[in-house]
Structure 1
Amino acid sequence: MRPLILITNDDGIDAPGIKALEKAMSALGDVWTVAPASEQSAVSHAITLWNPLRIHQRAEQRFAVTGTPTDCVYIALSKILPRRPDICVSGVNHGANMGDDVIYSGTVAGASEATLQDIPSVAVSLASYKSQNFDTAAAAAAKVAASVLKRGLPRGVLLNVNVPKDVGVDAPFKFTKLGRRYYGQIVTENNDPRNKPYYWIGGAELGFDDIPGTDCNAVADHCISVSPVQMDLTHYKFLDELGKWTELNEAAE
């Protein structure tokens, strides 16, 4: 039996990145796509609890959900897929998801939700908002997915892949830790037609910290970055230090 591959994203089911990913993954297994009906960028791991969700079948084994990437994976596993997937691949995102981006990213959240359900998962992004080099990014994702299907992943760990905009299919892979990116903190204020103020959050990418061994540095060096990301966010070293905060358990005077 061929592996069942679940594909999702946060750019929406009509995005060119997910179509390139579907094509690349079809060589590895039986592809089922369950993706947001509209763009859900930067929604992080949001799940819809207070509004109904609707499923629209676009084609055979291709479904749009009126919700977030997390909703898509949740519904795929509960209502759509004929059996448990062997792997989940989220992307190809249009724009990098490096360093701190993984906290905000809907692309990473789709893979995270599957990881929480003990499904080996990969998130893949094209590290450019202007480039349309999705085929190369999808080919890189297929290489990583093939290795994951062969080797598996530790429980609670996903792989976050970032592909530079200007590389070919023979670009080297680097195995990296998460870096640190920073953006301009811009909030634009304006007035609506009723003269009431509204605010638009934005901010241009300003750069990243130059830290050897990170995803940011790897992509800057024209390498495909592969970072293992764990769901356990506990800072174990500081957990030991917290044990010394004895005053928290002292009786109030």
Structure 2
Amino acid sequence: MKILISNDDGFRAEGIVALYNALKTIADVEVVAPEHNNSAKSNALTLHTPLYVHRADNGFRYVNGTPADCVHIALTGLLGYRPDLVVSGINNGANMGDDTVYSGTVGAAMEGYLFGIPSMAVSQIEKGWAHVDAAAETVKTMVQQMQAAAMLEPKPWLLNVNIPNLPLADIQPAKLCRLGRRHSAEPVITQVDPRGQTMYWIGNAGAAMDDSVGTDFHAASHGHVVVTPLKVDLTHHEQLVQWSDAFGRLSARVLA
């Protein structure tokens, strides 16, 4: 089994090191990750500045770009082979609910999925890397189970996984969940720099709005590994008929 690892916290982050150390015992593993922290970069690709790939002293390769850049470059020329699985993480903090839209961790995994490769984004629920080795062992077990069940061979899939910061023995079984929802983000923070210019900092994410039973927020609060299958199709299929009627009326007015 061949696995490509990336992340959005940077190639020296504790999460990616722990993940590599766990997965290298069961697979041939390559790491291609951002040079610096690229949180909240989503699926962004760098198109107007050159990208460079360097080899770090720990053997990892790093790129002066986004998480999606790293996976894209790896799959379109750097590796020279097609991996069986792409794993992005382990992220320093949860990616649940609306956060998945912004997440660079999810963006890297989604890039693998767009190339037809089974992919998973993995995060720890709390920041700080507590029990990160237990999270990495949890991912290792999941991958072994998937391989044994031949789940790496059929059509590609995209999973979002959040793991509690607990000792391995205390982590509750995985639960399949839908994404919850957050309230709107907190207000932007303004400050004045030494030259008198106003600068703006994006506010913190809003509190959970939908954390009912069946959501990722609810399962996470009860110590479970949270697994959510994701899709890329953003089409609002239920509104196609509604908009078809509306466009029909608009067209009729134009023709009249």
Alignment TM-score, normalising by the size of structure 2 = 0.91
Q: Does structure 2 retain, via aligned residues, the 8 Å contact 1:167–1:222?
A: no
| Unaligned 5+ runs, structure 2 | none
Answer with 141-150 or 39-48: which moved more.
Answer: 141-150
Whole-angstrom distance in 1 between the partners of 2:139 and 2:221: 19
Whole-angstrom distance in 2 between the partners of 1:54 and 1:88: 21
Indicate how the Cα distance of structure 1 residues 99 and 122 shifts in structure 2: closer, same or farther if over 3 A, else same. Answer: same
Whole-angstrom distance in 2 between the partners of 1:117 and 1:206: 34
2:208 is the alignment partner of 1:210: no
- Note the aligned Cα RMSD (angstroms): 1.9
| Unaligned 5+ runs, structure 1 | none
Whole-angstrom distance in 1 between the partners of 2:201 and 2:154: 40
- 1:1-253 correspondence to structure 2 within 5 Å: 3-59=1-57, 62-149=60-147, 150-152=150-152, 155=155, 157-166=157-166, 168-169=168-169, 171-182=172-183, 184-203=185-204, 206-245=207-246, 246-252=248-254, 253=256
Whole-angstrom distance in 1 between the partners of 2:129 and 2:30: 26
Please give the per-residue CA displacement for 1:54-84, whole angstroms capped at 9, x wherever unaligned: 1111157520100000000011112321311
Whole-angstrom distance in 2 between the partners of 1:237 and 1:157: 23
Indicate how the Cα distance of structure 1 residues 89 and 234 shifts in structure 2: closer, same or farther if over 3 A, else same. Answer: same
SS at match of 1:71: helix
Give, in angstroms, the shift of residue 131 of structure 1.
Answer: 4.5
Q: Does structure 2 retain, via aligned residues, the 8 Å contact 1:120–1:148?
A: no
Give, in angstroms, the shift of residue 167 of structure 1.
Answer: 5.0
Whole-angstrom distance in 2 between the partners of 1:223 and 1:153: 27
Please give the per-residue CA displacement for 1:189-244, whole angstroms capped at 9, x wherever unaligned: 12222211111112155334232211111101111011100111222222233232
Indicate how the Cα distance of structure 1 residues 90 and 220 shifts in structure 2: closer, same or farther if over 3 A, else same. Answer: same
Whole-angstrom distance in 2 between the partners of 1:181 and 1:151: 32
Whole-angstrom distance in 2 between the partners of 1:60 and 1:185: 39
Answer with 69-78 or 124-133: which moved more.
Answer: 124-133
Whole-angstrom distance in 1 between the partners of 2:153 and 2:218: 24
Q: Does structure 1 retain, via aligned residues, the 8 Å contact 2:157–2:229?
A: yes
Number of residue equivalences: 251
Whole-angstrom distance in 2 between the partners of 1:184 and 1:151: 37
Answer with 62-71 or 72-81: which moved more.
Answer: 72-81
**Amino-acid identity (%):** 42
Whole-angstrom distance in 2 between the partners of 1:138 and 1:205: 28
Q: Structure 1 counterpart of 2:157, which letter? A: V
Q: Whose strand fraction is larger, Structure 1's or Structure 2's?
A: 1
Give, in angstroms, the shift of residue 144 of structure 1.
Answer: 2.5
